[in-house]
Structure formats: C-alpha cells, structure tokens
Chain A
Amino acid sequence: MKAHLTRCYIFSASHRLHSDEMSAEQNRATYGKCNNPYGHGHNYRVEVTVSGPVDPETGMVCNLVDLDGLVHREILERYDHQNLNLLPEFRQRVPTTENLCITIYEIVKRGFCKAHLEKIRIEETMMNSFEYSGEND
C-alpha cells in the first residue's frame, strides 16, 4: 500500500521583492512593504512530501536519513541565514515564495531518487503558504 510522507524543515532568510522590469512606483505598488530596499526576513517552514509503496523490509517509504541529508545539504545549507536576492537563482527571478517553492521543488526532484516527490509546501508566515507539485501533476 502506498503512503505519503511529509517532513518539515525550517530556515531563516531575507529577501526583497523587486523587479528591474518595473518602475520604482510600479514596484512599490506591486510589492508594498516587501519592496523595502533594505530587505526583510522570514522563518520559512518547508514541507517536503514524498510518496511510494511501503517497503515490507523496513516499513518505510524511504529512509528519513537520506531525505534529511539531501535537504540539509542542498536546501538548508544553501538558504539558511542568507539573503536570497544575492543567490544566482534569484538574480533574474524575484525571490517570492512562489519562485522559492518552484526552485526547491526542482532541487529535491533532481537530487532525491529514493521516493516520488509529490509536493513542496512553504509557509512564509503563519498566515500564508505556497505549494508546488510540478507542471504535470
């Protein structure tokens, strides 16, 4: 029988929402407080959901040590206590949590082969969250 397993991780980072393709007024109108040139930060809570049949030998969908290792190495070490705008992936793309969600989905999809990646969900604050399940799901 198949099960979905979700593991949560937390990192803290700063960002500024600003698009070079808009005027200063347009940026302020679009992004409001998030356009503050000094940036601001969040504690991001990332939920990684993977699925697959439960291995009869281990009782597991996948070994959490493997998932934790990948997420620590590729996500937390990359983003925790960083300014997202300064990272290569957000030089051209605005580091909204939508774009962060898609980026993290792609990193996990590429790096984790022990179970099927179902979804990445990110809570930017307690009041808003974002989900991405890939283009074809």
Chain B
Amino acid sequence: MTKALRIIRRGGVLTVLGLLGLVAVYILALVYTPTEVRQGLAQKIFYVHAPAAWAALMAFSLVGTVSGLYLWLRDERLDRFAASSAEVGLVFSVIMLTTGPIWGKPVWGTWWTWDARLTLTLFLFFLFVGYLALRAALEDPGERGRFAAVVGLLGLVLVPFVHLSVYLFRTLHPQPVLVKPSAPSMPPEMLRTLLISFGVFTLLYLGFVMVRYGLQLATDEAAREAHDAG
C-alpha cells in the first residue's frame, strides 16, 4: 500500500506545481502578452487551447502505444498507465472541445465547423469515452486490460485515417504560426507565454497521471488482498 501512496504523493507534488504554473500562465497570458490586432482578446484563448490539445494528443498516443505494448508483454503496470492516461486525456480533450468553439465563435463566426482539427478533437473524445466505458463495463481485470488495450491500439491506428479523410475536405483551422524555417511570426512575449504554457500543461499531465496511477495501484492491491483473504 505504501508504494501506491508514495506515487500519489509525488504525483500530488507535480500537480500542485502544475497548478501554480497555471496561475503564472494565466497572469502571463492575460496581462503580459499583447492583444492581437486581428483577433482581439479572444486570441489569448490560444495560450490554453493549444497546450491542452498537445496534452490530449500526447495522452492519446501514449494510451495507444502502451496498449500495444501491453498486448505484447501483458505487464499490468502498462495497463494501469494506459487507464490513467486515458482518463487524464479525456479531461484535456474536454478542455479542447470547449475552448475550441469558444475561440471559434468570435474568430471564425461559427461555434462549430467540421474542419480537420476540431473533428479530430471530437473523435479523440469519443475514443476516450469508448475506452473508459468499456473498462467500466468489465469486471475481470485480465479481460478489462486486454479488451481496453485492443480499443486503445485500434483507436491510435484509426487517427491517420480520420485525419486523412477529413483533410480531403477544406479546413478552416488557422494555419500554424509557430513552425517556420525562419523566425516564428509571433512576438517574443507570445512565444514565451505559449512555451511556458506547454510546459505547465505537460507538468499537469504528468502529475495527474501519477496520482491516477497511484490510485489505481492502491485499488488493485486492495482488491487483490480481499480476493486472497476471501
């Protein structure tokens, strides 16, 4: 039991640091960064939307790859990690799905559009939900681990197909402003804030996953003790 508690504690520290970092990001984004001329204040949503998207995508990719590894190696730690990453990923994809339209309405004039990125966001959300729903519906831990891993792996493989099929239609999403061979077309305050925000969201992801992992470990061990005793 203590190992689980240690993991939870460490995860908790990371989470608290992440939360403090988030406060810093809020101050930086709302006060320090200049207002963008074309999009107005709404542009600042970018500083939380993009890092959340990054975290959700990272969470999803990890669920997929770790699921594949689990199917191969059958190490229950992998399953525990995948479950944790899925739950945390769901949280970040909810942020993506809400901040996306809130940003879209003032900037593109519409709450929703079936462009490449918003659609992928929705898919990720449904895949996370499906993964977690299946886990919740299965009692036997072995079956739960294996079946969830199948969904995780297949889900990851699905993403390029989603991307490709949606890309075959026009996209409204703003073109990437960061990745350019020369300097990014962003003033330094914006870039700095954005990078710090990416770091903070990554930290939050790690903290959340660690705590969730520890909780899962604790539950699994308690279940095992009950099973052995009964």
Q: Do A and B truly interact?
A: no
